[in-house]
Amino acid sequence: MFSLFSTMDIMGRLSEVAVYALGIIVTLILFALSYQLVLHPLKNYPGPFIAKFTDGYGGYHAVKKRLHLATYFDHLKYGPVYRQAPNRLVFNTSSASRVAWPIMSKTWPLLRRLNQKNGVAFSKSIQSIIQKRVALPQDAKHDFYSIAGGEVGEGIESLGRSELWAEAVFFIPAGGTTLSAALSSLFFYLSRHPTANTLLATEIRDTFSSGLDIKSGAQLSSCKYLRACIDETLRMSPPFLATFWREPYSDHTEPFVVDGHVIPHGTMVGVNPYCVMHNEEYFPEPFAFRPERWLASEEGSFRQQLTSHLLNSTPKEEQNLASMRAAFAPFALGDTGCLGKAMAYHETSLAIAKTLWVDEYQLLDLAVADHDGPNLVVAPRKEYWRELSDGGLKV
């Protein structure tokens, strides 16, 4: 009997402890929830209700690979700034991106001085390596210099460094992510906008007299509509869809102000490039593929020639060209921006120009599923494909 009563007494006490523990846990949960709703510094910012309590809201959409779309629609619902997590604010303005992205260099200026010093040292080191390699016989090492020398012959020494760079450009992986994204997206849009495709092909085929001329230089840089198509593609389908988050250091003494909002310590501020580049305030008709929006008014004769049978840009676009360029950030901004930006533009321009010089293409099917296609039918353009043989098409 004693043992039975002792066991029952212990079980009763454990039950009481469990009830007290449950009560404490529930109280703490209610307090935490109440703090997020009533006392948290970000309590007055709008946003999804669940996002006030957990980062799981953004995590769920990230797993679904649609966080950029959820962020875009949330901006439409809640405005240019909203609370996406307990300690995160997302802005949808170009001014916010320019305030948020330079935080690191402003907070720790020593980083900039170190980067400049290391950059000079790195440049000197590379120059030394190049000079030592050029001083060796051509076949001393199996590298790009020896391969280029095998193609050029004894005249390899006469090649300038700019010419060697033009040959080596496609061996460098910088900008590769942007290149693949831009190429696939640009052909996607061009295949659905035959007028833009015709204008671009005409510009390239009128600018160059031979496929051999399609290389680095003033001619390629003069293809304004090509650059406009690339910019419009990067705007509509940026290679990086994630929100770029920034947070000042805890010992940051100056108030951190973004678009007039004083950001509390411990709060992360983010700007999503997809949302900013689809903001109607900067880009009217943000989901329309309109490369001509990037052509400056001072290029009037060129613009008139290319867009005579298209809808001309609206006066608002003419006035807001500077604001469009300020909001254009497919490579991020500041010290953490993409180092391969120039390389990505260069490689994409070369690839598109060479493709449209040699090939013609069209859609295989006019109607395709959302997750499939487009499937393109590619055909050689007259006899220009022969320039690809016998080492004819140089870069």
Q: Known binding site for heme: residues?
A: 338
> E strands, the chain, where?
81-85, 88-91, 244-246, 257-258, 261-262, 268-271, 359-363, 376-380
If you search the block for the tokens 């490369």, which residue do you land on?
291
**CA neighbor of 238 nearest in space, from 100, 125, 375, 330:** 330
Which value, to the nearest 10 degrees, does the dihedral of the CA atoms of residues 330, 332, 334, 340 take?
Answer: -70
What is the rounded CA–CA span in Å between residue 252 and residue 343? Answer: 35
Longest CA–CA span in the chain (Å) reads: 108
**Quick check: 246 and 269 in contact, CB under 8 A?**
yes
Q: Quick check: 84 and 71 in contact, CB under 8 A?
A: yes
In a 10 Å sphere around its CB, with 0-12 CB exposed, 13-18 middle and 19+ buried, how is residue 306 labelled? buried
DSSP type of residue 247 = -
* Alpha-carbon gap, residue 285 to 287, rounded angstroms: 6
DSSP 217: S
Instruction: Tell the residue number behind the tokens 């309109």, with chain if given.
Output: 290
Q: Are 86 and 55 in contact (CB under 8 A)?
A: yes
What the block records as the tokens of 364 is 């295989």
Residue 334: count other Cβ atoms within 10 Å of its Cβ. Answer: 17
Eight-class DSSP state of 220: H
Within 10 angstroms of residue 80's Cβ, the number of other Cβ atoms is: 16
Q: What is the dihedral of CA 182, 188, 191, 195, to 10 degrees?
A: -60
How many other β-carbons are positioned within 10 Å of the β-carbon of residue 335?
A: 14
Neighbours of 54 (CB within 10 A): 13
List the binding residues.
338
Both tokens assigned to 367: 């109607």
